[in-house]
Amino acid sequence: MNSISIRELHQSTGKIVRSSATESTVITDRGRPVAIIKAITAADLPGQSLPPGHWQSQSRPVLATNSTAAVSTDRDR
């Protein structure tokens, strides 16, 4: 489990949140643990499906060509 300060969280929020998908991260304030960032699972949302756009809820397309065309098409939707 990673441990970082609030200051580090402010400086690198996106990177830390993405890395928390695979390993929980403890947030500290002046050395004291105050929060944990962890990946969400279906068990965290009883009776609900995962939110649209959640990385576990989307199937990954199999592409016949390079990914540039697929990314452009998806972006332009």
The pTM for the full model equals: 0.55
Contact call for residues 25 and 1 (beta carbons, < 8 A): yes
What's the rounded Cα separation, in Å, for the pair 73 and 50?
Answer: 24
Contacts of 25 (CB under 8 A, 6+ apart): 1, 2, 3, 4, 16, 19, 36, 37, 38
What's the rounded Cα separation, in Å, for the pair 76 and 71?
Answer: 9
Domains contained in the chain, CATH given: 1-41+49-56 (3.40.1620)
Burial of 19 (0-12, 13-18, 19+ CB in 10 A): middle
What does the pLDDT look like over 23-52, one tens digit per residue?
A: 999 999 999 999 999 888 777 777 766 666
